[in-house]
Amino acid sequence: MELKNPIRVYLFNILLILLITGSNLNYASGSSLEVEIDDGEAKVLIESILYQNITKFPEIDTNISGSELNMAKSDFEDALNVQARKPLNVSSLSIYVKSNDSWLNVSATFELDGVSSVENDVISTDLSWIPFKVLSDLKVGNLSYNLVGEEYLRPAIYELANQSAPSHELANQSNVNFFSPFYTPITTSMAMNIAGNVSTFDFNQFSTNFTSWSKYFDEKSFTTSWNLPTRTILDLRVQVTSENATDLRTGAEFYSYADAYATVSIPGQGVIVDHSVICENSSNRYSIIMLTNIIVLISLVIVSRYAGKRLMDTKRTPN
């Protein structure tokens, strides 16, 4: 089952914004969750991108494997089963991590077992697990790729606020101000709390009140999708100015922004009832499609024969 990936366009837009805005947007992040359901199988794709210039990430470019992958699998299962109405198992998990000084990109895919049930050719797939957050400090080498805020952003905010590192390039500048959202002033402790809560695998903000998700049926691909409107989950601005600066915005500025997006898709038509996607199984669905095609074909034959007969009758009619 191949996973369609419209959210790559969404992540590309984040990169485009970073390139266009340059120094005005010093670091931004976005996370996406896509669930594709087909014949009761649920495949999940998570993509996260984070840019920051306050601190430095260890440089990593690897696929997680071995004991590190097994630990991640266990942590994912623990997180997914917090809200799930029946036990779920993660299979075929793969995680790819790439980072340098400023960038951290994480991609994860897996399948969920035990999420669907079938009765009378109708498949019911439970979505109550979707609000989830992996709480563990997942690591590869010396990089923490899940608890990014706790391990990297919060200490960096603390350092800026306290100017505690003599080697820091802004160590001689004394005025540090924090804002969230936009230019709403907040305290240092509030800023540290906001930054510290940033996690790669945090989808607790997603609601399973699917009436707030937009539904769309694509006639060309014959698929139905439910999309959660993009929402902001992090908006934090840090400004550092010198003592004699008259304009608050003349000093160095750091900006962290994160939004989140989710989509659930199925082949054919479906509805969501009580946190579950309800649809027909593929054999029944394809039978209906085949029957519809046969009926259309027969109708075309009948119409063409009738039109041909009328044409012949017209030619035989004497003037």
pLDDT of the residue at 129 = 94
| Secondary structure of 256-304 as H, E, C letters | EEEEEEEEEEEECCCEEECCEEEEECHHHHHHHHHHHHHHHHHHHHHHH
pLDDT along the chain (319 residues), means of 10: 51 45 47 91 93 86 97 97 93 97 94 89 90 95 95 91 57 75 92 92 86 90 91 85 54 78 92 89 52 53 63 59
Tell me if 262 sits within 8 A of 34, measured CB to CB: yes
- Do residues 157 and 248 both lie within one domain? yes
295 and 276 within one domain: no
139 within some domain: yes
Tell me: do 114 and 166 sit in the same domain.
yes
Residue 295 lies in a domain: yes
Q: Are 242 and 175 in contact (CB under 8 A)?
A: yes
In a domain, 166, yes or no: yes
Q: Is 40 left (phi over 0), alpha (psi -120 to 50) or beta?
A: left
Residues 112 and 258 both lie in one domain:
yes
What sign does the dihedral 158-162-163-164 (CA atoms) show? negative
pTM: 0.75
Q: Say whether 11 sits in a helix, a strand or coil.
A: helix
pLDDT of residue 248: 44
Identify whether residues 217 and 233 lie together within a single domain: yes
The pLDDT value recorded for residue 149 is: 93
The verdict on 290 and 267 lying in the same domain is no
Separation between Cα atoms, residue 293 and residue 295, nearest integer Å: 5
8 A C-beta contact, residue 37 and residue 266? yes
pLDDT for the residue 75: 98
Domain count of the fold of the chain: 2
List the structure tokens of 69: 């992958």
Q: Which residues contact 35 (CB under 8 A, 6 or more apart)?
A: 42, 43, 44, 127, 130, 262, 263, 264, 265
Residue 124's domain spans which residues?
A: 7-280
Residue 114 sits in the same domain as residue 39: yes
285 & 271 share domain: no
Q: Is residue 2 part of a domain?
A: no
Q: 175: closest CA among 250, 69, 123?
A: 250
33 and 145 in a common domain: yes
Domain identity same for 275 and 221 = yes
Residues 78 and 90 occupy one common structural domain: yes
- 271 & 137 share domain: yes
